[in-house]
Amino acid sequence: MSVTIRRARPGDEVELVAMVRELAEFEHAAEECTVTESQLHTALFGDPATVQAYVAEVDGEPAAMALWFYNFSTWDGVAGVYLEDLFVRPGFRRHGLARALLSTLARECVDKGYSRLTWAVLDWNSNAIALYDSVGGRPQTEWITYRVTGDELTALAAGPDGSA
């Protein structure tokens, strides 16, 4: 088994979108996944790019991916990496691909002097939690993640008087 981990390149968005959709199905949220190849292409390769990706190939076949972006720690004064999605296709699980992708992201941080690698995991995904615990990841239980989307996002953007 030959494993290659590389940066995404134009044309990879086809397999990356397929894996994002597979991940959404795994997370019981397939109906919420609306990303298109065109959107991901623009996000990955536009100016500016808003997301980065690594692709793990096994014997030349796309087997896993990590989609991530830069964040910034105001306390440390340096950037970090936020891992948005890590996904290994079922037929390639238990071969160290997720750990290899995490290691690649950690190397990205260390090589560039970034202070942290951050991600979230669904509380029911015990296999992922076990992996994250095994690589030294620690849950940030004192923080609660918030999100605003849809109509609420539109209303918030309008400002307090609705005219912004």
For all residues of the chain together, what is the average pLDDT?
96
- Does residue 164 carry a pLDDT above 90? no
* C-alpha span between 134 and 162 (Å, rounded): 48
| CA dihedral of residues 111, 85, 56, 112 (deg, nearest 10) | -10
In this prediction, residues 2-8 reach a mean pLDDT of: 97
Domain 3-157 has CATH 3.30.365.10: no
Residue with tokens 């891992």: 83
- How many Cβ atoms are within 10 Å of 127's Cβ, its own excluded? 11
In the chain, where are the structural domains located?
3-157
**pTM for the structure as a whole:** 0.92
- Beta bridge partners of residue 114, listed in sequence order: none
